[in-house]
Structure 1
Amino acid sequence: MENNKIDNALDYWNFELVEMIYDECIINNDDSIILEYCNFLYNTANFEKLVRLLKDNVTLIHIEKYRILHENYHLLNKCVESVFENIHFIPKDILCCYYFRKKINSTRLIHNPEKKLFLYKTYILDSNNTLTQNFSLWLLVKYFQNSASSMRELFFIPKNIESIQYHIMTKLFYSDSQGAKNIYNIFIEQIHIALNNQIKINKIPKVAICFYGILRGDWQASLKHSFDNIATILKADCFLSTWEEKQEWPGFSGGNNWIERLFGVKYAGLDVNWLGEHNFFKTYLKNSYEVLECEYLSRIDLKLIKDMKKKYTCLKKIQLNNLEKFEANMLNESFFRQNTSKLYYGIYKAFELMKEYENEMRIKYDYVFILRADSEFFHIDQNILDVQLNEIADSFFSWGSGCGSSYGTREIMEIYASIYNFAEYIQHKYILNPWDNHDTIFKWMTLHGVKTIPLKFYAKLSNTKCLEGLKLPYFQDALQNDIDQLKKTNMLSSDKIVKIASFFNRIVCDYGEIKCRTRSVKRRFVVNAKSRIQNHLSYKLGQALITNSKSILGYIRMPFVLSYIKDKHKFEQKAYEEKIKENPNLALPPLEAYPDYKEALKEKECFTYKLGEAFIKASKNWYGGGYIKFILKDVPRLKREFGKR
């Protein structure tokens, strides 16, 4: 077993792990491996450790090369600078490896990397000792990879066709070991960085910013901020792909708390954070919720669009898409699929708009920023364009990547924008829900070998200028009905009722009401008793069992899907319990409090729920044949029972 681990670590050139495995064997008194370990230490020129090991195992000193080393070890330390002339009892390739070790430990190796490469070529490159050859190169590469840029370039960059670097890379290129492939990739990466930095000195990069997404509130102010700041700093050409309608009021957009999402900390002093929880608001202020949950849209004034294009020369093209038509095609889809489809579509259309301009002007942009039109950008780093060919700058969270604003080279951002065309086809055991954009975007980019790196700006989503321009729909009558009902039923304390009234009076005063003609769209992510029951583990497992039993591919991936659902459900439950501990006001009301409670109870008696229940029961007794009973008895029984109904 240990030999397999060692062989695998050697294949990956993980020499530190090899040494750790050997050390563990020695601690466990595995004498059979001591000689093998001594050979490893000798061939990697770790003489100091080898001599200590020989002292503890005197029988090994009878082996000639170890006896000579043990007797003359003191000479090595005395003549490091002249080892090649004065030390004759150790092979030159191993001696050269020892020289590299000593220089690294004394932090003097960084001087004259060309000399180190010359020594490697002279004594090691054509050596028959593969371990010494691999270890020495690994030692040098790891050292110079982390040195100053001038030293890195001297070590990694070939100056001409006769350079030693080409000889080294040729050996790496034809090697089958994974470690050689990794070191080869480091050479390529370092050469790319050096060439890229040199080219940047002589070239002003072309930058495009693709703004996308719905415009809301005072959208002109937020876009002006972006044009005056990030676009000016980057000297970028800008493109805007949005909808023919804008949001006067956005409804309760994503996130757990709509007050924080729309107003940030503006009303923190009013102590109404609990009112921002969707479940609380829906339960206790049903009438107000039904008005405010809707999105209120008005037609964009085309004159304002034309005026903006005239005013800002950086704004090259604008595109207005038909939102009603897009939504009509998604009518029967879930809210989350609708919303994520809009996101993917917006990104794709903005990038395509930029491509149109490229074709018209016969140019190509070097870097592309895809930014939300309702965000504002601050703290823009002067090295913002320091992004490699295999990188995308984006946010990263415990649930994946993607804040809606990201950037990279043009080629990388084209991959990013293309997810709109592939979302339907990439669902499998690792992308269970392509409409979970955070998880999917991260995996889509990783699939293409793209690494996510931190953004070099701050993208502000709350307390923005556009959100300051929101208007509220008229809901005062609905609010009064809710307050009267709360007073009548004593469902909430009088203190909370006063805070509710005070909060809504304040936001109406601060933001005003919608005066123009609007179209309202009801969002479909409201939590009710039915959705609560459908979020039970039994229902989710039953649904997955049914969905994946319709094809051979489904049966193959079913174990992975079920395992993922159970793990995710457990994580969500734990997160919810911790949230309740911190703030008991965030607890969901009992199912009986929902108006659709009686109707929702039918969900617990449906085939999907009962199938999931039976599977959970089988899982608890898997070692006693629970799964076999589930397949042969429970599933047929449930089919018979529900077939009769």
Structure 2
Amino acid sequence: MKKYPLGILLCATCDSAFVIGALLANIKAKCADKVDIFYLIHDGFSKSDKKALKQIAGTSEVKFEAFTKEDFITKLNTYRKTPINLRNDSFLNRWTHMVYACFEGLKYLQECECVIYLDFDILLLHEIGHLKHLMGDYVLAANRGKNKLKASLPSAPQEFANLEIYRTGIIVFNDTLESPLECYDFIYSQSAKHALNDQAIFSLLIFEKKLKTKVLDNRYCGSVLWRKNQNPILIHAYGSKNRFWNNHLCNQIWQEWNLYYKQWLDASGSPNTKGFIANTTYGYERIRYHLSYKLGYAIIQNYKTLWGCLKLPFILAFIALKHRQEARFYAHIIAKSPHLKLPPLKSYDDYKSAIYEKQTFSYRLGASLIQACKTIHKGGMIEFYKQAKKLQKESREKNAPKILS
């Protein structure tokens, strides 16, 4: 049987059909006819929405597959002696069973050479068909986070406990993967054995089976905070109150999402009935963009080794120079595109928690360094050293890392 060269896997519940419609229109606009088939995993898409999705898909094939919570529980119970009760499961209360639908991509490798899964809260800025050609002898590809496996899955084998987990916002499945159905069974058997956590179990699969996995760089997990990005391939609007369709600021900055949503409506797809639920979020990221936080964080990260200490003056100088260049770039950009100007921090829904970032060890340490540089002719660096020792002492009570001796 001849396989499809490239497939895209998208998943959502029935009330998010409009999101999948907008994303599908986005993919078609960026990837043209490079996508041979769309695999749409859903929980209750209506007939009219399915028709609208097929219309937007154009010449690409579309395959629908139902994935209900009952289906999910049945899969888990296959690997348990006693039925599992998920009514009060904290993971499902925070997310939904649909986060596990990404693993359906393993089943489609029987008919497709390469399957790319995308979270529903993604906006493509460039085409992603190139991922198929980047795989080489890699069997999987995903972005990797900083959190350790033990933090997400305390019962994981000790040999993998301190390894950084793989994220599941975007996954590339290559048909060079041996026994993909065994991998599929592994996902559910280990979830039934340990706990529900899609990213942790996916990482455990990679570690235990030693699967050769390509690490996708930060261009494949672009932030809605556009100043943080470096030529991103896509934007990932993660966070339940930070979507393109429910957050005023996110929608204002990434206005192109609305163009794709309009295509969905023009195809007679069901509309978004919930509207905006947040004005602005992720205020803490605004604080972390301050020069004080950047400098303090760099000191903490590099003061742990002799080589780090030797490099530190150059690292700090580079950070300061880059920050100044970015400030000029920001001023230039908002002059041309006023809608990209960020609102006052006080307007953020999480303003109070954001301000707390100014009390962190990193921020206060960086702020002290900036003040010392302003008074360096008056012994500012000596005063900085004293202040750093004081901040270190205070931070010990909060389990902050030791950086000065």
Superposition TM-score tier, normalisation by shorter sequence: 0.3 to 0.5
Answer 1 or 2: which has greater strand percent. Answer: 2
The structure with more helix, counted as a fraction of residues: 1
- TM-score, normalized by length of structure 1? 0.27
